[in-house]
Amino acid sequence: MSTLDQYDATASPEVPERFPNPGLEQHKPRLTDVDPRANKRAERIVVLLFLVSVLASVAALVAYFLIPLDGTLFNLRLSTAVLGAGLGLGMLGIGMAAIHWAKALMNDTVRVELRHAQRLDDEGRRVAAQMMVDGVNDSGIARRPVLKGALAGAAALAPLPILVPLVGNLGDDWNVSKFRHTIWGDTPEGTFGSLPDGSVGRRLARDPEDTPIKASDVTIGSVFHVIPHGLTEEEHYYEEKAKAVVLLVRLDPRDLKESPEKADWSYDGIVAYSKICTHVGCPVALYEQQTHHLLCPCHQSTFDIGDEAKVVFGPAKRPLPQLPITVDTEGYLVARSDFREPIGPSFWERLK
Ligand code: FES
């Protein structure tokens, strides 16, 4: 590495010269290099940008505590919007401050680095480490305590809008037990159908109409987006819906591969699987009728509905959880029970 004065493009004789080396432009000092007031102004702008970041992070935290997530759509949207805006501005403030700091205040030296083998020799590594130290010194952070404080404050607060809601929502429940259960196993009055053996099961209903589905409504190849009947009456509608959504598909029974322990989890070729991808939780909903493949649009995990929703492609590590279903005495599809395993990303499975 060398400065402009030391740079010589013809220093390496094995590199053929194909056109005249135009050299580098004459270096012009920046206003902040020659005018102390401009330098001070630039410093204030950087502090101001860090301050914007701090205020945005604080606003996001305040909004998290002030806007109650009481199940109303308005509050849910408001909380999401303010948290998102606070987080975004918090990060943006730090980013813009860092760029302005680098462009206006850090030492303005033109350097040229010629290509070389990737692994430096020991001397080169020592020089690289020294360059990092020089870089820190160049940034002037030691001489500018206000800037240092502003940077520390903004960087310390910026992660909080992520961490505080995470900790607040999980509370003591780091085992995320609420994701182990959905309301498919609950059967409040008016939501279930009776089975021939005297037990009851929650009816499967169309999403979002909440109308129960008869097995005879489901033709081969058709797909239904399904919620538990009566879900619209639930207190935590969105949370429960996010966990309980199911995709219902009817195949020719001869195309279904079923293990003995799941032999009675389907009804006449009708199968129901969680729509929450086992990779990182996107909704899987792109069904290919010919191949019986179900595709997750986020990272292309593909599940074979004809073979217990096993993963045939992509980053997901386990099949989609299957909802055991049957029909009640009136011909409506009902869940035999809740899912028998946690829904969602494989992470929860490992915490068993
Ligand atoms: S969330 Fe479905 S593949 Fe990543």
Q: pLDDT, tens digit, for every residue of 109-160? A: 887 777 767 778 889 899 999 999 998 888 888 888 999 999 999 999 999 9
Q: Are residues 245 and 159 in the same domain?
A: no
Q: Are residues 338 and 285 in the same domain?
A: yes
Ligand 1 contact, 296 CB (< 6 A): yes
Q: Are residues 159 and 236 in the same domain?
A: no
Of ligand 1's listed atoms, the one at least distance from the Cα of 301 is 3
| 214 closest CA partner among 326, 333, 340 | 333
151, 171, 191 - which closes a domain: 171
Of ligand 1's listed atoms, the one at least distance from the Cα of 300 is 3
Of ligand 1's listed atoms, the one at least distance from the Cα of 277 is 2
| 273 closest CA partner among 304, 312, 243, 247 | 247
Predicted pLDDT of residue 88? 95
Q: 124: which DSSP letter?
A: H
154, 171, 188 - which closes a domain: 171
Ligand 1 contact, 279 CB (< 6 A): yes
Predicted pLDDT of residue 301? 96
Q: In this structure, are residues 315 and 301 in contact, taking their beta carbons and an 8 Å threshold?
A: yes
Residue 218 domain boundaries: 178-350
Q: Are residues 229 and 340 in the same domain?
A: yes
Q: How far apart are CA 96 and CA 90, in angstroms?
A: 10
Give 20's pLDDT tier (boundaries 50, 70, 90). confident
* C-alpha 314 – ligand 1 centre gap (Å): 8
Of ligand 1's listed atoms, the one at least distance from the Cα of 296 is 2
Q: Are residues 79 and 188 in the same domain?
A: no
116, 146, 171 - which closes a domain: 171
Chain position carrying tokens 């609420």: 178
Q: 286-333 pLDDT, tens per residue?
A: 999 999 999 999 999 999 999 999 999 999 999 999 999 999 999 999
Ligand 1 contact, 283 CB (< 6 A): no
Predicted pLDDT of residue 12? 54
Predicted pLDDT of residue 350? 58
Q: Where are the alpha helices (DSSP H) in the chain?
A: 31-34, 36-66, 73-100, 122-138, 145-157, 160-170, 237-244, 346-350
* C-alpha 205 – ligand 1 centre gap (Å): 25
Task: Tell me the CATH number at 289.
Answer: 2.102.10.10
Q: Are residues 228 and 205 in the same domain?
A: yes
Q: What angle do CA 143, 99, 44 make, to 5 degrees?
A: 50
* C-alpha 204 – ligand 1 centre gap (Å): 25
Q: Are residues 242 and 330 in the same domain?
A: yes
Ligand 1 contact, 277 CB (< 6 A): yes
Ligand 1 contact, 301 CB (< 6 A): yes
Give 46's Cβ-side CA count (13 Å radius). Answer: 28
Ligand 1 contact, 295 CB (< 6 A): no
Q: Are residues 154 and 205 in the same domain?
A: no
Q: 232-272 pLDDT, tens per residue?
A: 777 778 888 999 999 999 999 999 999 999 999 999 999 99
Strand partners, 111: 3
Q: Are residues 139 and 187 in the same domain?
A: no
Q: Are residues 96 and 144 in the same domain?
A: yes
Q: Are residues 164 and 195 in the same domain?
A: no
Give the count of domains, the chain: 2
* C-alpha 124 – ligand 1 centre gap (Å): 43
Strand partners, 313: 302
Q: Are residues 165 and 16 in the same domain?
A: yes
Q: How far is CA 22 from CA 1, 29, 266, in A?
A: 19, 21, 74
Predicted pLDDT of residue 17? 61
